[in-house]
Amino acid sequence: MKEIAMTVIVNGDKHDLTVPPHETLIECLRDRLGLLGVKKSCDVQVCGTCTVLLDDRPVSACTVLAFEARGRSVRTIEGLARGDDLHPVQEAFVEHGALQCGFCTPGMIMATVALINENPRPTADEVKHYMRGNICRCTGYKRILEAILDASRRMSGASAGNGR
Amino acid sequence: MAADRLTVVGRAVPRLDARDKVTGAARYVSDLALPGLTHAKVWRSPVPRARIIETLTERAAAAPGVLAVCAAADLPVKRLYFGPAYRDQPILAHEVIRYAGEPVVAVVADTERHAQAALALVDVRYEELPAATSAEQALAANASLIHPEIERAGHFRDLSGLRPIPGTNVCQHYAYQRGDLAHALEDADLVVEGVYRYPALSHHALEPHCVVARVDGDGLTVWATTQHPFPVRRELADVFDLPLAAVQVVVPLIGGAFGGKCYTKTEPLAAALAARVRRPVRLALSMEENARTITRHAVSVVIKTAVTRDGTLLARECDVVLDTGAYADIGPRVATKAGYRAPGPYRIPTLRIDAKCVYTNNVPAGAYRGYGVPQVTWAGESQMDVIAERLGLDPLALRLKNLLKRGEEYVAGDTPIDGDLAEGLEQTARAVGWTAPLARGRGRGLACAMKDGGGTHSTSTAIVRINADGSVDVLAGSVEAGQGIRTALAQITAETLGVPFASVVVAAPDTSVTPYDWGTSASRSTTIMGLAVQEAARDAREQVLILAATLLDAEASMLTIRDGAIAHGDRAMTVAEVISGHYGLVGGEVTGVGSFVPGKSAGSLGGATVFWESGMGAAEVDVDRETGAIELLKYISAADVGQAINPRECAAQDEGAAMQGIGPALFEARVNDAGQLVNPGLIDYRVPAFTDLPPTLETVLIENADGPGPFGAKGVGESGTFCVAPAIGSALTQATGVRLTELPMTPERVWRALRDAERGSLPPTLK
Amino acid sequence: MLRPFELSEPTSVAEASELLARHGDAARIYAGGTELILAMKEGLVHYEHLVNVKTIPGLAGVRLDAGTLRLGAATSHRALERDPLVRQHFPAVARMEADVANVRVREVGTLGGNLCFAEPHADPGTLLQVFDATARIEKKGSARTIPLEGLFVGPFETCLEGDELLTEIVVPPLPSRSAAAYLKFGFLERPSVGVAVAVTLDDGHVADARIAVGCVGPVPRRMREAEAELRGKPRTETGAALATAGRIAGRAADAITDLHGSAEYKEHLVGVLLRRAWDQALAAIDGSPRR
């Protein structure tokens, strides 16, 4: 079986890897690169717990094959904060109590980053529609919604060129 | 301490674990790796009942990377059976299969992929037998016995009085009576009867069960997704005939639980495999396997209520049947509690309660947030509204008339009611706009319920260690499953000690380090572990003050610790200086210990209720009459928390509980087809999603500082699940005239009821 | 977990077709993988050989060619949802695509993959039929075009021969004074009932009515008998005709009772969604400038 040599940028770091075609992106990120913040849950693309950004697009790491990341950039939850400085979405989640067990949280935050990147000031309905595929069993979604709306307000209030 | 003088309790401080969780640094059992780790996969029965003829494991054993393939006989255990009420559940099926999904053979290999591939080579020959796949079938006169013999586990004091019905599949029978039923029925102006059904549910916490087990020297260490590290330790000690001290159970963060991770589940299997291969073993279930491991009890309730014309409740009869599946798990306690709680939070002179916990050939049922209350409340509160309709009374007024008052007894000998239920219900009604005009086609409903919270006969011990630098370690066995217990315990500690919140660290439960705790369930941890932690903190504080008294030449009773320092006149010392001053070096520590020991009472459960966890709910709905879809517009939930240690986390728990009640009210249910779980995973089992968040979802926290816990706290977290279904059900009735008696109220069921009503067929509940 | 497989990455349709012919039943086209990889992970199917079509230039993309929408089979749902040409000229298609599954599936999953996997509980196949969309099917050395309706043979089964690939979906514009609408209903992850309509008005009469029903029966299909009930009717007198059309379409949909609901309920929903989609389409015609 032929393996695929690839270069991928993960959270800003370049990696040269050789992967079998059947390796999933979550296996690559967790087992090869030690990025345990990418969580595995339903494994059928429904819950969104494994959401990572592939060239800024949200994808299910459980079902996307690892080689599809070749020549592209992947961003996981570990790549969001800058040292001790949390990303505004992370800050908003903490302030609004938008997490409890935390298992859905990395995927939820990555999906939020993708949403705000695409739609800087979403309405509540737009948030619900976009985030429909990210399941939380603990919070009831209310505080997550508040955190997302707050984060989007703060981020669009920030000066241009922050590029996060 | 008066609430207005609290400095950290009562504040919405950020969670201790929030930063780790939002950065991906949080570590769960499923993230754990050990050197030499091997991987286990399980062959599960495809049929609900069978006699095992033989297990053929040679082909699998010869597959690449395989270290062992085990059937029951191959497990190096002293005891094959476990269970918190009865030791009825084998680690791997032995001679017979009792449910579809039951583990029969386990494979251990060097990689998960190798284990998965070898699994396909396992062959089990069996003879399928007729199965009882509902409680009704299992209760039939000619039903065969799923467990001809059962052995009591003897682990929990409240389960020492188990009462199975010999010769039947009833493994626990709870009965309670008071008053004169015949007279009450005679005196009544109205008697209403109905049958209500609540479905089995899957917990679907996002982190499936995961265990890593390692055998070292003469001992065993297990990292497990469990809410009950100490009971699991006890089970493992029994299974391997080891002293408790040789068994260590460690629980880092877990990714949700909701009761699905209570008591022993997959730990004995992982441990037995680790003992067999002499290497650490990781057994991680998939979400589908999780659903084949544990479920919520499906419950049917036949309920009859006698009232006078003015709405005074005279009598209630509740016959509750719970489908506990192939193994009892904690079903006997759930059944007992379901029966005990079935009458509702009302003053009812005459009661006849009968609850039966029934074995079937379905997946075992166990603890699930609410613990029987959502199921019996669906029945009891729906019927209260039927009564209100029939008598022409306002549903709120009917309830207020009958709600127990503070100080009244629910059952003779049990702790009297410790809250203002009427206040909670009135606040809930106000918040939903109960008396405001209602747009056409819409409806409102409300409901109330309570449970005896805190668990029965439970105990917790905690240690508070003040280090030489003034930082504090809290050793408590409470499991952080998302509810925020670590943060609450840190707040209690900081407040009691008088030290900054930021200086307190709460350890992960580790049975070798953190003292005994009965378990993280029953909404008990804030109250009971909280009391233990508070006592430990007081103990440590007193020791520090005695040391300080010497160093400051003062009376200890005149000293307090504030913000980590003790002041006396113009002198002040930090706690760190006191400890170092005493030991003469930057070392040493002050160690405080505290315990909570259960009380005794003559109540029908034999143990005093720690506190009453009451919940109220009110809903406003719109109904699409053509499709039957119910649109939830507003849901208000009220929880009596006594004193919120962390108000944000209390509200967040209640909101999450409400959403977990919205699921089964409207669309969430397991589908069981002749013992086969048709919808194990999330594609066909619908859990609430973002789009189910109603435009208004509000929680009201009732705080009267009247709980037994620290600073007047009570437990919280379950009551939000109690009232959702009946509140929505009654709102549906107000909007459309139809009442459903079986959950979930799917669009199709609503549509059928509307259509039947239109055609003049009798609505289901009117008799 | 996925069992190992070989991956080929052809750079032409001919090469892909050759690979399919060579490996026969052991090979399968792989585009987004949102259905295929899922089924392989669950152990429901296994292919020793996956043929990646994303490496074939020109297979993805949206073109508007004299009013006709030409969609590369490997175009993602998300691309269709957001494409300015689709949103402006075929708004019903963009709206339908925006509601497929969840955002992550839409980012990776392709229209062609969705159509070829032929999962009954899906959306695109239903709506595209009311545009009289056609499917371009190619293999080494030849190509054919069929009505999209003909692609679907049964659940998870298409008319594609072993060495054929779907390369393009062609969506002609509706005539002037027309609009399309798609409505679906369900409470599980996948839709339970989907109804699409396309209405053309002419001088206050229904000049054309096209109806398709999906998710309910084994394949999504046009309901021509139901359509006939509506053609020619004055637009203000379609009430009874819609009810009749709904009943006809409901019965013709071959509903089965399953987790999504009973056959009876699904038939009923077909009628409800038909009437609502119809009203939506008329409102869209009324709301748009006269052409």
Same domain membership, residue B345 and residue B275: no
- C-alpha distances out from residue B11 to B8, B332, B395, Å: 5, 39, 36
Same domain membership, residue B432 and residue B462: no
Same domain membership, residue B251 and residue B225: yes
Distance from CA of B687 to the nearest CA of C (A): 9
Q: Confirm if C71 and C77 have CB atoms less than 8 A apart.
A: no
Distance from CA of A144 to the nearest CA of C (A): 17
Q: Does any domain span residue B110?
A: yes
Same domain membership, residue B620 and residue B490: no
Report CB contact under 8 Å: C188, B686: yes
Report CB contact under 8 Å: C259, B686: no
Structure tokens at B385: 């509204």
Q: Does the pLDDT value for residue A161 go beyond 80? A: no
The domain in which residue B99 lies consists of 32-131+203-291
In degrees and rounded to multiples of 5, residue A23 shows phi and psi of -75, 135
Q: Which chains touch C (3 or more CB pairs under 8 A)?
A: A, B
Distance from CA of B125 to the nearest CA of C (A): 22
Helix ranges (H only) for C90-190 are: 91-98, 103-108, 111-117, 124-129
Closest Cβ opposite residue B112 in set C1, C3, C259? C1
Instruction: Give C62's pLDDT tier (boundaries 50, 70, 90).
Output: very high
Best CATH choice for the domain C6-52 from the list 3.30.43.10, 3.40.718.10, 2.40.50.140, 3.20.20.70? 3.30.43.10
Burial B323-338 (b: 16+ CB within 10 A, else e): bbbbbbbbbbbbbbbb
In degrees and rounded to multiples of 5, residue B418 shows phi and psi of -110, 20
Q: Which pLDDT score is estimated for B159?
A: 76
Same domain membership, residue B124 and residue B240: yes
Give me Rg for the CA atoms of chain A. Answer: 16
Give one DSSP letter per residue of B518-564, joined into a string. --S-TT-IIIIIHHHHHHHHHHHHHHHHHHHHHHHTS-GGG--EETT
Report CB contact under 8 Å: B655, A44: no
SS3 call for A121 = coil
Report CB contact under 8 Å: C41, A45: no
Block residue for tokens 């840190």: B490
CATH number (domain holding residue B212) = 3.90.1170.50
Interface list for B 617-656 with A (CB within 8 A): 648-649, 651-653, 655-656
Q: Which pLDDT score is estimated for B4?
A: 62
Q: Does any domain span residue B658?
A: yes
Provide, rounded to the nearest whole percent, the portion of chain A with pLDDT above 90: 94
The answer to whether residue A44 neighbours chain B at the CB level (below 8 Å) is yes
Chain B residue with Cα closest to C261: B748
Same domain membership, residue B111 and residue B83: yes
CA-based nearest residue to A141, from B186, B486, C195, B657: B657
Same domain membership, residue B330 and residue B441: yes
Q: What is the mean pLDDT of each run of 10 residues along chain B (767 residues)?
A: 77 97 98 97 98 98 98 98 97 98 98 97 98 98 93 79 94 97 96 98 98 92 98 97 97 98 98 98 98 98 98 98 98 97 98 98 98 98 98 98 97 94 97 96 98 90 97 98 98 98 98 97 95 98 96 92 94 95 90 85 63 97 98 98 97 98 98 97 97 98 96 96 98 98 98 94 49
- Beta-strand relationship, B50-56 and B38-44: unpaired
Same domain membership, residue B621 and residue B516: no
CA geometry: angle B241, B250, B244, nearest 5 deg: 25
DSSP B226: -
Q: Confirm if B417 and B434 have CB atoms less than 8 A apart.
A: no
Distance from CA of B112 to the nearest CA of C (A): 8
In degrees and rounded to multiples of 5, residue B145 shows phi and psi of -80, 125
Mutate: best of A42, A45, A68, partner C, most C CBs <10 A: A45
> Which chain C residues have a beta carbon less than 8 Å from that of B286?
none
Whole-model pTM: value is: 0.97
- CB-based burial label for C134 (10 Å; 0-12, 13-18, 19+): buried
**Domains of chain A, first to last:** 4-79 (3.10.20.30), 88-157 (1.10.150.120)
Q: Which pLDDT score is estimated for B598?
A: 74
Report CB contact under 8 Å: A46, C189: yes
Question: Which CATH number does C62-171 carry?
Answer: 3.30.465.10
| HSE of A47, CA atoms in CB hemisphere, 13 A | 26
Position B549: which residue type? A
Domain count, chain B: 3
* Residue at a domain's end among B242, B258, B291: B291
CA geometry: angle B227, B230, B233, nearest 5 deg: 110
pLDDT digits (tens, 9 = 90+) for C179-214: 999 999 998 999 999 999 999 999 999 999 999 999
pLDDT digits (tens, 9 = 90+) for C211-264: 999 999 999 999 999 999 999 999 999 999 999 999 999 999 999 999 999 999
CA geometry: angle B740, C265, C157, nearest 5 deg: 135
> Which chain C residues have a beta carbon less than 8 Å from that of B629?
185, 187
Report CB contact under 8 Å: C269, B746: no
The answer to whether residue C256 neighbours chain A at the CB level (below 8 Å) is no
Distance from CA of A4 to the nearest CA of C (A): 9
* Residue at a domain's end among B253, B276, B291: B291
Residues 6+ positions from B678 with CB-CB distance below 8 Å: B671, B672, B684, C259
Report CB contact under 8 Å: B683, A99: no
Closest Cβ opposite residue B689 in set A100, A101, A132? A132
Q: Does any domain span residue B752?
A: yes
Report CB contact under 8 Å: B682, A44: yes
> Which chain B residues have a beta carbon less than 8 Å from that of A134?
690
DSSP C246: H
Chain A residue with Cα closest to B288: A42
Length of chain A: 164
Structure tokens at B450: 């309570």
Angle between helices B647-666 and B724-736 (to 10 degrees): 50
Same domain membership, residue B728 and residue B623: yes
Report CB contact under 8 Å: B656, A139: yes
Report CB contact under 8 Å: A140, B648: no
Q: Does any domain span residue B179?
A: no
Which sequence spans correspond to the domains of chain C? 6-52, 62-171, 178-286
Report CB contact under 8 Å: A63, C6: no
Q: Does any domain span residue B137?
A: no
Q: Confirm if A69 and A38 have CB atoms less than 8 A apart.
A: no
> Which chain A residues have a beta carbon less than 8 Å from that of B256?
100-101, 103, 137-138
- Give the whole-angstrom CA distance, residue B343 versus residue B340: 7
Same domain membership, residue B80 and residue B61: yes
Give one DSSP letter per residue of B308-341, joined into a string. -TT--EEEEEEEEEEEEESS-TTHHHHHHHHHHH
Q: Which pLDDT score is estimated for B604?
A: 53
Same domain membership, residue B589 and residue B611: no
C178-286 topology per CATH: Enolase-like; domain 1 (3.30.390)
Q: How many CB atoms lie within 10 A of CB B126?
A: 19
- C-alpha distances out from residue B228 to B251, B269, B535, B719, Å: 9, 17, 22, 21
Q: Which chains touch A (3 or more CB pairs under 8 A)?
A: B, C
Closest Cβ opposite residue A103 in set B22, B256, B681? B256
DSSP A86: P
> Which chain B residues have a beta carbon less than 8 Å from that of A99?
15, 18, 21-22, 482
Q: Confirm if B307 and B190 have CB atoms less than 8 A apart.
A: yes
> Using beta carbons and an 8 Å cutoff, which residues of C are at the interface with B?
1, 3, 185, 187-190, 259, 261-262, 265, 268-269, 272
Give me Rg for the CA atoms of chain B. Answer: 27
Report CB contact under 8 Å: C102, A45: yes
In degrees and rounded to multiples of 5, residue B759 shows phi and psi of -80, -5
Mutate: best of A24, A138, A144, partner B, most B CBs <10 A: A138
Report CB contact under 8 Å: C102, A48: yes
Instruction: Give chain C's mean pLDDT.
Output: 96
* Residue at a domain's end among B291, B320, B337: B291
In degrees and rounded to multiples of 5, residue B382 shows phi and psi of -60, -40
Interface list for A 94-123 with B (CB within 8 A): 94-95, 97, 99-106, 109
Q: Confirm if C50 and C16 have CB atoms less than 8 A apart.
A: no
Mutate: best of B32, B206, B666, partner A, most A CBs <10 A: B206
Same domain membership, residue B255 and residue B114: yes
- Beta-strand relationship, B281-284 and B38-44: parallel
CATH number (domain holding residue B420) = 3.30.365.10
- Give the whole-angstrom CA distance, residue B632 versus residue C176: 40
Distance from CA of C268 to the nearest CA of B (A): 8
In degrees and rounded to multiples of 5, residue B220 shows phi and psi of -135, 130
> Which chain B residues have a beta carbon less than 8 Å from that of C3?
117
Structure tokens at B350: 């005459």
Q: Confirm if B280 and B213 have CB atoms less than 8 A apart.
A: yes
Cis upstream peptide for B744 (omega within 30°): yes
